[in-house]
Structure 1
Amino acid sequence: MATLHIERTIQAPADTVWDALRDFGALHTRVAPGFILDTVVEGDVRTVTFAGGLVLRERLIALDDDRRRIAYSILSDTFEHHSASNTVIAEGDRCRFVWVVDFLPDGPKDRIEAMMNAGADAIRASMERA
């Protein structure tokens, strides 16, 4: 199993970043516009369209306001297993965004890591503009 752990310091208050991130259907408008083109929510599943044309379905697993943590899983035949979480940690007037993903098989690790880094950079840029 592969595990990827990506972190970014965001020059914005944790509550502001968390308010956007916890909005499960707002990836394309509030979290990472431009990187994410569209998000459609049906129940606990969102369909996410990325700028490069990739479309993924993600199931919401947990939303924890006290810990500012959201967990989800990609629903795809590509993965035997997939689980991910995003956490926002307050650090004074800024915060730390932590993204952890576990998946099987681990073959696409480099591609997934590159996409996560691009996504984390887009999130940081969007949150710092807000």
Structure 2
Amino acid sequence: MATVYREILIEADPEGIWAAIRDWGEVHHNLAPEFVADTQVEGDVRVVTFADGTVVHELIVSLDDDLRRIAYSVVGGSMAVSHHNASMQVFAEAGGRSRFVWVTDVQPHSLAEPIAAMVDQGIRVIRRTLEAAAPTS
């Protein structure tokens, strides 16, 4: 199994970031609009269509407001994974900034590089989107 771990600072309040992440059926609007083309919710599964046409069915495993953390697992779609589990979490940092952590465990190991490339692209869009939406002081 491979782990893709990314951590970035975002110039935005953690509560605002968490609100965008927590609204898990609106990823294509509030979190990563250039990266995700559409999100549909079917019970506790969200069907995510990425801009490149990849479709994944993600089971929401945990949504924790106290920890500002969401965990999800790919359970279907066009990506051939035998195991996928990911989490996104937001931590408060000094000066009204936030630390955003995205961890993905995936198998087979051969998917580590393609998943890492997707995460890298997604995290750039997420940062840009959230910083643009943050109130200026």
The TM tier, using the shorter chain, reads over 0.9
Compute the displacement of 1:108 (Å). 1.4
Supply the distance in 2 between the matched residues of 1:95 and 1:117 (Cα, whole angstroms). Answer: 18
Aligned length in residues: 130
CA distance in 2, matches of 1:8, 1:26: 22
Percent identity of the aligned residues?
48
2:64 is aligned to 64
Per the normalisation by structure 2, the TM-score is 0.92
Shift of 1:124: 0.4
1:122 is paired with a residue whose SS is helix
Aligned to 2:23: 23
Inter-partner Cα distance in structure 1 for 2:10 and 2:29: 18
What is aligned with 2:103?
100
TM-score (norm. length: structure 1): 0.97
Q: Looking at secondary structure, tell me which structure has more helix per residue.
A: 2
Which AA in structure 2 matches 1:16?
G
In structure 2, what is the equivalent of residue 9 of structure 1?
9
Structure 1 consecutive aligned stretches of length 4 or more whose deviation exceeds 3 Å: none
**What amino acid is aligned across from residue 89 of structure 1 in structure 2?**
F
Look up the match of 1:88. 90
One-letter code aligned to 2:116: E
Deviation string 1:27-70 (CA, Å, 9 cap, x unpaired) is 00000111111100010001111111111110100001001000
Alignment gaps of 5+ in structure 1: none
Indicate the RMSD between aligned Cα atoms, in angstroms: 1.0
The CA deviation at 1:105 is 0.8
